[in-house]
Amino acid sequence: MDKLLITGGGSLSGEIRISGSKNAALPIMAATLLADTPVHLFNLPHLNDITTMLALLRCMGVGITITERMTVEIDISTMTEYEAPYDLVRTMRASILVLGPMLARFGKADVSFPGGCAIGSRPVDIHLKGLEAMGATIEVDGGYIRARAPEGLKGAHIFMDVVTVGGTENLLMAATLAKGKTVLENAAREPEIVDLANFLVAMGAKIEGIGSDRLTVYGVERLEGCSYSVMPDRIETGTYLVAAAATRGRIRLRDTQANILDAVLMKLEEAGAHITSGDDWIELDMKGQRPKAVSLKTAPYPAFPTDMQSQFTAMNAVAEGTGTVVETIFENRLIQVHELNRMGADITLEGNTCIIRGVERLKAAPVMASDLRASASLVIAGLVADGDTLVDRIYHIDRGYECIEEKIQALGGTIRRVVEG
């Protein structure tokens, strides 16, 4: 199993490119199941989750052609299977996103239940209730969601009682081909949902209220393929900015956008970072200063993203002062705290809150990654620790960070992949 070996101490400085967004690319790839003609996608990140989604589409008979620089043509005209099997779904929760489009387009879909994962229980009840409101019959059998709508889906007025990113995406995709009008109330507003909606519109969907918490969709007869470039990854962007802040560095990130990161940039400024940005770049400069601890509470967009919480926890661990971090989206997303404490951090965990008293420096230790963003926090901790930190179970990090060691090396960090067995 691969590990990352990080020698801490230096400040990050330099310039790197930000990749396409994992969390926008995955629903967009699922949405290609709605198209009558081939779709061309640009700026897909080179990540294990993207490979898994391609494998899932391929195992259903979908034609996939990959050209250089991860430009992918997806052609569903050859599709023969309507089942997303357990072996693929269990490795990536976003596989559930094929349910809505497959049901809307073909009237049937068998999708393995995605399991719980390290960050919390993650049910899909709102996805299923919404599809039932649109006329689908759903049975759970042998660990599979078996959804049927032989006459097609019909528009409905749906109120989602929890703000859910995946639920909004599944129902939005399903509604594009449903008969009549669908209204999704209490919809999630994450930039990745806006990107998905823009992609659906590029294929011919009729959607009003994009970017708001009320999406109105007028179902159309068919959607046509198009060419589309996936938005930049705001979580990858935020992760490198926090790594630079923690190491008192100065970095410039290109091919990204500041306006999708407002809550994160505000917290970085509060931590003492000087931030400047243009249309497609962001620069952060700590002017050699130690960051100041910040307090934050995660909540749906436009509030502070849960996917950035563990990185800020790592920065706070070496910041001046005390910060409080409250996680409100997932019940078990503060477990990185135990690994950070093993590296000399001073963090107290009380339920969904952690209180972080900053220390001057951390001390290297062998640590274990428990999920994707927790892994990123351990890499940041390794960069500010004295000595060599070995991060185990980095298959989590490979789900979400393209070429992480090359990018950190380009910023002057000392990191390398240790390949074992």
Ligand X SMILES: C=C(OP(=O)(O)O)C(=O)O
Active-site residues: which are they? 117
168 Cβ contact partners less than 8 Å away, ≥ 6 residues apart: 160, 184, 187, 188, 193, 215
* Binding residues for ligand X, total number by CB under 6 A: 7
Q: Which of 25, 99, 124, 177 binds ligand UD1 (CB under 6 A)?
A: 124
Tally of CA atoms within 13 A in the half-sphere of 407 that contains its CB = 20
What is d(CA 157, CA 68) in angstroms, rounded to the nearest whole number?
A: 43
Considering only residues 23-42, where is the footprint of ligand UD1 by CB under 6 A?
23, 26
Dihedral through CA 38, CA 43, CA 47, CA 52, nearest 10? -10
Over the window 305 to 324, marking each residue x when it contacts ligand X by CB under 6 A and - when it does not, the resulting string is: --x-----------------
Give min distance, CB of 166 to ligand UD1, in A.
Answer: 3
Query: CA-CA distance, 232 to 277, in Å (whole number)?
Result: 15
Please pick, from the candidates 105, 189, 250, 373, the single residue that binds ligand X as defined by CB under 6 A.
Answer: 373
**Is 93 a binder of ligand X (CB under 6 A)?**
yes
Work out what residue 127 binds among ligand X, ligand UD1, none; the CB cut-off runs from 5 to 8 Å by kind. ligand UD1
What are the residues facing 144 on neighbouring strands?
112, 141
- How far apart CA 245 and CA 234 sit, in angstroms, is 16
User: Which amino acid, one-letter code, is at 284?
Assistant: L
Q: Which amino acid is at 356?
A: I
Interacting residues with ligand UD1 between 327 and 346 (CB under 6 A): 329-330
CB of 287 to ligand UD1, least distance (A): 32
Total residue count of the chain as it appears in this document: 421
What six digits make up the tokens of 241? Answer: 């900015």
x/- map, 160-189, ligand UD1, by CB under 6 A: --x-xxxx--------------------x-
The CA distance from 126 to 110, in Å, is 17
Quick one: what does residue 160 bind among ligand UD1, ligand X, none, with the CB cut-off 5 to 8 Å set by partner type?
none
| 162 contact, one of ligand X, ligand UD1, none, CB 5-8 Å limit per kind | ligand UD1
Residues that bind ligand X (CB under 6 A): 23, 93-94, 307, 372-373, 400
Known binding-site residues for UDP-N-acetyl-alpha-D-glucosamine equal 93, 307, 329
